């Protein structure tokens, strides 16, 4: 692998480390996933619908190419919430 280094302000470095920690990843792993576009679904891609089994209101992903909406993906979304 190639090593890339760049400079960040103290605030930017803190935010980056915090986001990586909340995602339970190293900074390197976090950045690699972000570059590949492997982030959790955005709130705009989430919709509310009626559960066919229980009739309860549930949240689901709009697109077919999005990962399933699970407790883990919701936690990831909340970790990225400003």
Same domain, 27 and 45: no
pLDDT tens track for 29-54: 888 888 887 665 455 566 778 888 88
Same domain, 44 and 77: yes
pLDDT tens track for 3-22: 889 999 999 999 999 988 88
User: Which residues constitute the domain of residue 15?
Assistant: 9-39
How many independent structural domains does the chain possess? 2
**pLDDT over threshold 60, residue 63:** yes
72 φψ region: left (φ > 0), alpha (ψ -120 to 50), beta (else): alpha
**pLDDT over threshold 80, residue 61:** no
pLDDT band at 64 (very low <50, low <70, confident <90, very high): low
Same domain, 31 and 60: no
Residue 15 confidence (pLDDT): 93
* Contact between residue 63 and residue 45 where contact means Cβ atoms under 8 Å apart: yes
Residue 23 lies in a domain: yes
Residue 3 lies in a domain: no
């Amino acid at each position: 692998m190639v090593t890339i280094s760049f400079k960040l302000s103290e605030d930017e470095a803190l935010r980056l480390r915090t986001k990586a920690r909340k995602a339970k990843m190293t900074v390197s792993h976090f950045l690699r996933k972000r570059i590949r576009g492997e982030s959790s679904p955005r709130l705009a891609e989430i919709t509310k619908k009626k559960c066919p089994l229980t009739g309860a209101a549930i949240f689901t992903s709009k697109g077919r190419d999005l990962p399933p909406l699970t407790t883990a993906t919701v936690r990831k979304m909340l970790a990225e919430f400003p």
